[in-house]
Chains A and B, each alone.
Chain A
Amino acid sequence: MGSYNLTHLKELEAEAIFVIREVVAQFENPVLLFSGGKDSIVCYHLARKAFYPAKVPFPLMHVDTGHNFPETIQFRDKLIEETGARLIVGSVQQSIDEGKSTEEKGVNASRNKLQTVTLLDAIEANKFDCAMGGARRDEEKARAKERFFSHRDDFGQWDPKNQRPELWNTFNGKKNMGEHFRVFPISNWTEMDIWQYILAEKIDIPSIYFSHTRDCFVRDGVIMGKTDFVETKDTEEVQPMVVRFRTIGDATCTGAVASTAATLEEIIEEVASTRVTERGGRSDDKRSEAAMEDRKKEGYF
């Protein structure tokens, strides 16, 4: 690069930091949604950069389905402890116990969709006026239309056909009482950018992103980790497999990939040569062609 030209990772970093700082300037009570996945870890890292040497001036919130891989929760708790962040946990189990959500039934039952109820409840209970998230536009086609600053009405709903135009880097976070915003600082990052950034910045991520041996079974062509939360059918054979996860979500709907990539460099090689999108292993997106759009309209992240 010439002396006054940034590399694309530095430019994306500068853009994300700018967006996070705008959130703190324009909203009274923002929160960063934190799943323990790599995208939210990168967002938190960017937030620390944005306000250094001060502490991150907002809490993190984990919408916990209760169906986690234990490695994710261990990682989350360690990161919180080391960096002194404030963590709020919104519990899907609690929403179910309080009768606000109803558990899905059958072998494909997942709590993924139920997160929306818990998320909206937690936003209301904590009076958050902005929830930042690590969603990226390259993940899914409905997300490709998402704004950096995404307005939600007082039911938390997204109206994709009536979005505010977003010009230059001038973000309009004005809203009425009861409404809130979702803000996506890493909108313009791709999966490859995230991995390259994690490598360049030496960011810690949960161990399940790296190749390991785990008891798995195959459902609809997707490798699923065997956990207490998923019922297996008689025809599904559980056996140890060498896998890693490309995304970390609810354990009931997040698929693994057969992989021997045990280092960041090997993961990057694998991502560069892979021919399936990272959400290709998410059965929640496979429910219908517009599955993501429908969930997003209701207030999913």
Chain B
Amino acid sequence: MEKSYLNMDLLRFTTAGSVDDGKSTLIGRLLYDSKSIFEDQMEAIQQVSDRKGEEHVNLALLTDGLRDEREQGITIDVAYRYFATPQRKFIIADTPGHIQYTRNMVTGASTANLAIILIDARHGIVEQTKRHSFIASLLGIPHIVYCINKMDLVDYSQEVYNTLVDDLEDFSAKLETKDVRFIPISALKGDNVVHRSEKMGWFEGATLMHTLETVHIASDHNHIDCRFPIQNVIRPQTTEHHDYRGYAGRIAGGVFKKGDAVMVLPSGFTSKIKSIDTFDGEIDEAFAPMSVTMTLEDDIDISRGDMIVRENNKPEVSQDIEAMICWMGDSPLKEKGKYALKHTSKDARCMVKEIKYKVDINTLHRNEADKVISSNDVARVTLRTTSPLFIDQYGRNRNTGSLILIDEATNNTVGAGMII
């Protein structure tokens, strides 16, 4: 078992669904069937369910961590859950269904490889389905799995399922996401979640768990465009490492090799990679999302916020940024307003030059007349930054294509930006 454990990789996924679509039941089922719910957790929620006079053990209590959530029966904030099978380790970002929906789902989606979107087989595509799909697509989640849930309530009907899949295929063709899958399930009864359904012999696809275990995620990182944002400069200043000057950071894209010719932004100076160092020794190559320290052949002035790239494959260097912004601030986004900005390891300030339009996240329609961008709204904006950023399109690289906006008065994170 030890060997397989050391060979596992990591899949981060988010779950979305509207109220009462069985999301908590599904998560409970995944955790329970993979033996990730412990006896004392089960005992604790059993006691609470009994005290409240609920008929079944309420698996939602596993995910509702805060007192207010349990008392009001609502989920307030993103909760992270963990489970593993012999193939993979999983991190679930469980996002609440109603309150602050967009803000929370965007947060959960920002680091996810895969989104599970739940649909009630009896109701089909509803407004939330479109909203969840749009956010998953906007946040560049590479894989979407639509789980058609509550199949037990439609007599496991192939016809109902096929009609729904046709509708979903029409709709999802408008999304950026390329890998879209459909699975008929009953989270309550366990059909096609971990075990193959006996009631739906007509379904030839994989179960949800099998899909989660096998979906190809190695290419979810960009291994083409070399991007190394500098986090810290390592200077031991000891006798042993007297002249050592290393650049610490996490590879944001591409594959860097010892001896590669590189360019440093913003200075434009070129050099070669002298070594790629780790605590465990020198390595020959480094790729996303590794954390390493690089040294260069030449003595160049480099500091936090700079980026090491390849001369023949540079990011765009610009102070004018086109982006989709998901707004999270309590007060509306201000046109001509000034905000602090973080992009990779770089800090800057920016002004919102123009709000171009608001996106109706239920219909994807652009509304150019409505420029009041409140919390949980999505808008297309143009930003002007105080210093140049080294950017890629978000669709090409989620690390160098994303930024956050910070309110300078409250220090709160108020906007999530996807660079176009």
Residue on A nearest B64 in the bound complex, by CB: A141
A258 within 8 A of B: no
Q: Could you tell me the distance in whole angstroms from the C-beta of B412 to the nearest C-beta in chain A?
A: 6
| Nearest Cβ on chain B to A82's Cβ, whole angstroms | 15
CB–CB B250/A54 < 8 A: no
B-facing residues in A1-25 (Cβ within 8 Å): 1-2, 4-15, 17-18, 21-22, 24-25
Task: Count how many pairs of residues, one from A and one from B, have CB atoms less than 8 Å apart in the complex.
Answer: 197
Shortest CB-to-CB span from A44 to chain B, Å, is 12
Flag the segment in B84-92, B174-182, B258-266 that touches A: B84-92
Task: Report if B197 contacts A (CB, 8 A).
Answer: no
Q: Check A5/B9 contact, CB under 8 A, given A18-B231, A165-B416, A172-B404.
A: yes
Q: Across the interface, do A5 and B80 meet the contact criterion of CB distance under 8 Å?
A: no
Are B66 and A25 within 8 A (Cβ)?
no
The contact of A167 among B110, B217, B223, by CB within 8 Å, is B110
Provide the residues of chain A in CB contact with B104, threshold 8 Å: 165
Q: Which residues of the partner chain A approach B369 to less than 8 Å between Cβ atoms? A: none
With A and B bound together, what is the CA distance between A24 and B202 in angstroms? 56
The reply to whether A163 and B77 contact each other, CB–CB distance below 8 Å, is yes
Identify which of B39, B44, B291 gathers the most chain A CB atoms within 10 Å of its CB.
B291
- A17:B291 contact, CB within 8 angstroms: yes
Residue A105 CB within 8 A of the other chain:
no
B38 touching A25 by the CB < 8 A rule? no
Contact between chains at A169 and B111 (CB < 8 Å): yes
> Quick check: B38 and A277 within 8 Å, CB to CB?
yes
Interface stretch among B160-168, B234-242, B353-361, B384-392?
A: B234-242
Chain B residues, CB < 8 A from A24 = 232
Q: Which residues of A contact B170 (CB under 8 A)?
A: none
Query: Is the pair B231, A48 in contact by a Cβ cutoff of 8 Å?
Result: no
- Interface band, chain B: 35 or more
Nearest CB in chain A: distance from B231 CB, A: 5
Q: In the complex the two chains form, is B2's CB within 8 Å of A22's CB?
A: no
- Cα–Cα, bound, A163→B5 (Å): 34
The answer to whether the Cβ of B287 comes within 8 Å of any Cβ in the partner chain is yes
B411: Cβ under 8 A from any A Cβ: yes
Distance of A222 Cα from B40 Cα, bound (Å): 12
B350 CB-CB contact with A under 8 Å: no
Complex-state Cα separation, A144 to B411, whole angstroms: 24
B65 contact set on A, CB distance < 8 A? 140-145, 293
Inter-subunit contact B66/A161 (CB<8 Å)? yes
B19 lies within 8 A of chain A by Cβ: no
A53 within 8 A of B: yes
A52 interface neighbour in B10, B103, B279, Cβ under 8 Å: B279
Q: Provide the residues of chain B in CB contact with A127, threshold 8 Å.
A: none
A49, B278: Cβ atoms closer than 8 Å:
yes
Choose the segment among B127-135, B149-157, B311-319, B395-403 that binds chain A (4+ C-beta atoms closer than 8 Å).
B395-403
Question: Do residues A165 and B278 form an inter-chain contact, with CB atoms below 8 A?
Answer: no
Residue among A8, A12, A15, A165 with the highest chain B CB neighbour number at 10 A: A165
Stretch at the interface among A67-75, A106-114, A185-193, A225-233: A185-193
Measured CB to CB, the closest approach of chain A to B375, in angstroms, equals: 11
Could you say which residues of chain A place their CB within 8 Å of the CB of B158? none
Binding site for A on B (CB under 8 A): 1-2, 5-10, 38-41, 44, 48, 62-68, 70, 76-82, 84, 88-89, 91, 103-104, 106-107, 110-111, 217-218, 221, 223, 231-232, 234-238, 240-241, 244, 246, 248-250, 255, 277-280, 287, 289-291, 293, 304, 328, 340, 342-345, 398-399, 402-404, 406, 411-413, 416
List the 9 shortest-distance A-B pairs measured between CB atoms, nearest first: A141-B65, A8-B10, A49-B279, A17-B291, A54-B236, A5-B218, A174-B411, A52-B279, A280-B40
Binding site for B on A (CB under 8 A): 1-2, 4-15, 17-18, 21-22, 24-25, 48-55, 137-138, 140-145, 160-161, 163-170, 172, 174-176, 187-188, 190, 192-193, 196, 199-200, 265, 268-269, 272, 274-277, 280, 289-290, 293
